Amino acid sequence: MANAPRVAVLTRPAGRNEALAGRLADAGWSACILPALEIHPLEVAAADLPRPADFDMVVFVSGNAARQYLEQLTRADGMTAWPSRVLAATVGPASAQALRELPAFGANTTVLHPGDDAVSHDSEALWQVLCALPQVPSRVLLVRGTQGRDWLGDTLAAHGVSVTRHAAYLRRAARWDAAALATLRGWAQAGVRATWLITSGEGADAVRSAIDAAGLTSWWQGCRFVVTHPSLARRIPQGCHDTDVSGMVKICLPNDESIFQAFVAA
């Protein structure tokens, strides 16, 4: 289609898309913010909340995990200082930055994470960072959602680490309103091939379910995709694997700069 509009559909949770949307708009894209998942805090009784001081390291699987856990701590204990001897760890620099910016977190606390130049920002990359320590911490608190990969926790446990898993939030499929669905149908009818950002397996499944319910499966199978982990390429329409995958799917690191560059190249 000549002069076809460049449409980006950003599906990260609410509050995570605005800066990227603005940058894409400046680059000539029409950016649609359409979260795939909603983040719901979990209420935890103060007596049941694991405290950082009882561990050698606290691992946050995402920025959401950090925010929700520290809010739980603040509700239970007030604004108390992070124990100076307790390490923190995240799967990438973006979530590490989100952690450092939280007022309830210790500014001088060591935060371990894969670097900007790491091949990936995921559990496997963080494990390589931990393996480089003189000694892997013996007591680890793993803060996550109610669902997610167990690879890191299982790997730590297999190496003799005492692992406590704590769910700080629940992710649910978002419900897209009539206006959002009308926008998608309009693109489908006009033959516009949107480029979708997919950042989690749960998110991919939620998008696919909503697309199927809206009767837009055939159109979605002809869209392009930007994904933030190689494993997510298996969660997008199978039709993409029957064509030139390099033209349909771009794989990048899960930070705004890498995602923006992937969209530009899509």
Which of 171, 193, 221 terminates a domain? The answer is 171
Task: Indicate if 116 and 70 belong to the same structural domain.
Answer: yes
Q: What is the pLDDT of residue 247?
A: 55
Mind listing the pLDDT tens digit for each residue in 115-129?
888 888 889 999 999
Residue 243 pLDDT exceeds 80:
no
What radius of gyration, in Å, describes the C-alpha atoms of the chain?
Answer: 20
Structure-token match 């298996």, residue found: 234
- Find the CATH number of the domain harbouring 109: 3.40.50.10090
Q: What is the pLDDT of residue 5?
A: 79
Task: Indicate if 261 and 220 belong to the same structural domain.
Answer: yes
Residue 139 in domain? yes
Which of 123, 139, 171 terminates a domain? The answer is 171
Residues near 29 by beta carbon (within 8 Å), at least 6 away in sequence: 6, 7, 8, 263
Q: How many domains does the chain have?
A: 2
Phi, psi of 105 (to 5 degrees): -100, 145
Residue 80 in domain? yes
Q: What is the pLDDT of residue 238?
A: 59
Task: Indicate if 115 and 144 belong to the same structural domain.
Answer: yes
Task: Indicate if 29 and 71 belong to the same structural domain.
Answer: no
Residue 2 in domain? no
Task: Indicate if 28 and 76 belong to the same structural domain.
Answer: no
Q: What is the pLDDT of residue 1?
A: 44
Ordered DSSP codes for 2-36: TT---EEEE-SPTTSSHHHHHHHHHTT-EEEE--S
Structure-token match 């769910």, residue found: 167
Residue 242 pLDDT exceeds 70:
no
Mind listing the pLDDT tens digit for each residue in 140-185?
999 999 877 789 999 999 999 999 999 999 999 999 999 999 999 9
Percent of the chain's residues with pLDDT above 70: 95
Residue 159 in domain? yes
Task: Indicate if 119 and 181 belong to the same structural domain.
Answer: no
Q: What is the pTM of this model?
A: 0.81
Cα–Cα distance, 24 to 128 (Å, whole number): 33
Q: By the 8 A CB rule, do 188 and 216 touch? A: yes
Task: Indicate if 70 and 116 belong to the same structural domain.
Answer: yes
Task: Indicate if 165 and 186 belong to the same structural domain.
Answer: no
Task: Indicate if 15 and 61 belong to the same structural domain.
Answer: no
Question: Among 47-61, 84-98, 106-120, where is mean pLDDT lowest?
Answer: 106-120
Burial zone of 170 (CB within 10 Å; 0-12 exposed, 13-18 middle, 19+ buried): middle
Nearest to 5, CA basis, from 227, 194, 135: 194
Mind listing the pLDDT tens digit for each residue in 19-61?
999 999 999 999 999 999 999 999 999 999 999 999 999 999 9
Nearest to 172, CA basis, from 196, 198, 146: 146
Which is higher by pLDDT, 62 or 185?
185
Q: What is the pLDDT of residue 148?
A: 73
Helix-then-strand count for the chain, H and E = 10, 11
> Which helix or strand (DSSP H or E) is residue 95 part of?
helix 93-100
Ordered DSSP codes for 45-85: -GGGPPPGGGSSEEEESSHHHHHHHHHHHHHHH-SPPPPTT
Task: Indicate if 61 and 72 belong to the same structural domain.
Answer: yes
Phi, psi of 135 (to 5 degrees): -155, 130
Q: By the 8 A CB rule, do 137 and 52 touch? A: no
Task: Indicate if 61 and 140 belong to the same structural domain.
Answer: yes
Q: Which residue range forms the structural domain that includes residue 191?
A: 7-36+174-265
Residues in the chain: 266
Task: Indicate if 256 and 149 belong to the same structural domain.
Answer: no
Burial zone of 218 (CB within 10 Å; 0-12 exposed, 13-18 middle, 19+ buried): exposed
Residue 124 in domain? yes
Which of 140, 171, 202 terminates a domain? The answer is 171
Residue 107's pLDDT band (cuts 50, 70, 90): confident
